[in-house]
Amino acid sequence: MQRKGLGRGLADLISSDDLKKGATLLHLRPNEITPNPFQPRSAINDDELEELTRSIERHGIVQPLVVRQSVDGYQLVTGERRWRAAQRAGLDIVPCLVRDTDDSEALQLALVENLQREDLNPMDAARGYQQLMMEFGKTQEQVASIVGKSRSAVANTMRLLDLPPPVQSLVGKGEISEGHARALLGIGKDPEVMVEAAEYVLQKGLTVRETEEFVRERTTPQEAAGIERSAERKAQERVPDPNRAELEERLQRAVGAKVRVRSRRRGGTIQIWYHSDEELERLIRLLDPPVSRYGELG
């Protein structure tokens, strides 16, 4: 029986640079691949996914997924929509380009692919930029170079992280634009005031220019300038702690999973990511081994 999902003309789509770097083309079962833990996109539009599914049913996967080897097999780097659509379409195998990438490059590739396809909402982009800086030691200039934008564009998008969660949700859903959100940052630091202002803008259907005027009417020139300087300073100060980065890397090697360490004045937290019940069981066995490993207790 012929296996489904090889697509057409794959050799023409593989970069010679990838092949020179040792990348290989494999055909993997979709269930052999786990999601990218560094995927910056928080949601996938179901209508677009269904449209892609129908296209894959007719034509197969034309562009290979990019994966990397992981503890449990293969981990997705780019191509999550194609991977999900292939599962919906019932493909037995999918074409995959296997690349040797670290966590930082996995995030960079996913960010660039989504930005080029305009699949990221501004909040997802802002969190992706922050992750590159906080977890992988990139500067704003380096992030800008990676994603092909100016440093000021990256800084302006990262300012959205100063919005209260309800307003961030409106931006993520596309109910207000990035321009609206940046204008609202000038209204003050009180989260309740900012949420009320966002709801007013949404209710009245204000344009970005009208929102800027609305904010100016409620802010003195001195306050507005101070808010702008503070936001820019915060964006520039988002730099990683090299000691924490080293500790996270050591812990990730020890447990074979993504780890995040957050320090406070007293104590802190350690977060460990897992992506399946099987991986959770593996982590539990690693962190809480059976008593038999230490002998029976009397």
pLDDT at 189: 80
Please state, rounded to an integer, the average pLDDT across all residues of the chain.
Answer: 77
3-class DSSP state of 98 = strand
Which residues, 6+ apart, have CB-to-CB distance to 175 below 8 Å? 202
Mean pLDDT for 83-92 is 91
Candidates 57, 80, 212, 223; catalytic one: 80
pLDDT at 278: 74
Is 80 one of the annotated active-site residues of the chain?
yes
**218 pLDDT above the threshold of 80:** no
Q: Tell how strand 73-78 and strand 65-70 pair up.
A: antiparallel
Using CA atoms, how far residue 213 sits from 157, 168, 183, in Å, is 21, 21, 9
Q: Are 38 and 103 in contact (CB under 8 A)?
A: yes
Q: What is the pLDDT confidence band of residue 261, given thresholds at 50, 70 and 90?
A: confident
153-193 residue pLDDT tens: 899 999 999 999 999 999 988 899 999 999 999 887 888 88
Q: What is the pLDDT confidence band of residue 71, given thresholds at 50, 70 and 90?
A: confident
pLDDT at 248: 80
pLDDT at 222: 47
Report if pTM > 0.75.
Answer: no
pLDDT at 263: 67
Closest to 9 measured CA to CA, from 66, 64, 82: 64
pLDDT at 274: 72
Q: What is the pLDDT confidence band of residue 119, given thresholds at 50, 70 and 90?
A: low
- Tokens coding 265: 């004045």
Q: What are the chain's domains?
A: 10-112 (3.90.1530.30), 121-237 (1.10.10.2830), 242-294 (no CATH)
Q: Calculate ∠ Cα 156-162-166, nearest 5°.
A: 115
**8 pLDDT above the threshold of 70:** no
Q: Are 35 and 275 in contact (CB under 8 A)?
A: yes
9-37 residue pLDDT tens: 334 334 445 544 556 888 999 989 988 87
